[in-house]
Structure 1
Amino acid sequence: MHINPRIAFFTFGVLKAPVGDPVVQGFVDRIGDVYAAAEGSEGFFDRSIRDVETWEHSWGPIIAPACAPAGLAMTRFAMTLSLWRDLESVAAFAYHGAHREALSKREDWAEKGPWPTYAAWWVDGQHKPNWSEAVERIDHLHVHGPTPHAFSFRKPFDAMGLPVRMKAPRPAS
Structure 2
Amino acid sequence: MQLAEFNVGHLRYPIDDPRVRRFVMALDMVNGIAERMPGFVWRLKSDSGNATDIQVYDDPKIVPNLSVWSDIGSLENFVWKTVHKTFYERREQWFEVLERQNFVMWPVEDGHEPTLAEAKDRLDHLNQYGDSDQAFGWSYVPQARLWLEARCA
> Per the alignment, in what secondary structure is the counterpart of residue 68 of structure 2?
strand
| Cα RMSD (Å) | 2.0
Looking at structure 2, the residues matched to 40 and 137 of structure 1 have their Cα atoms a distance apart, in angstroms, of: 26
Counterpart mapping for 1:74-153 below 5 A? 74=60, 76-153=61-138
Q: CA deviation at 1:83?
A: 0.7
Larger radius of gyration: 1
> Per the alignment, in what secondary structure is the counterpart of residue 93 of structure 2?
helix
> Per the alignment, in what secondary structure is the counterpart of residue 146 of structure 1?
coil
Amino acid at match of 2:127: H
1:64-83, Cα deviation, whole Å (9 max, x unpaired):
2xxxxxx52x2x12211111
TM-score (norm: length of structure 2) = 0.86
Q: CA deviation at 1:117?
A: 2.5
Aligned partner of 1:166 in structure 2 is: 143
Aligned residues: 145
Amino acid at match of 2:134: H
Q: CA deviation at 1:126?
A: 2.4
Identity of aligned residues (%): 28
Alignment gaps of 5+ in structure 2? 147-153
Alignment gaps of 5+ in structure 1? 65-70, 157-164
Aligned partner of 1:14 in structure 2 is: 10
Q: Which structure's residues are more often helix, by fraction?
A: 2
Looking at structure 1, the residues matched to 98 and 108 of structure 2 have their Cα atoms a distance apart, in angstroms, of: 28
Residue 26, structure 1, aligned to residue 22, structure 2: yes
Aligned partner of 1:162 in structure 2 is: none
Correspondence for 2:34 among 35, 38, 49: 38
Amino acid at match of 2:30: V
Q: Is this contact kept in 1: 2:4–2:68, CA < 8 A?
A: yes
Change (3 A) 1:81 1:92: same
Q: Is this contact kept in 2: 1:43–1:86, CA < 8 A?
A: yes
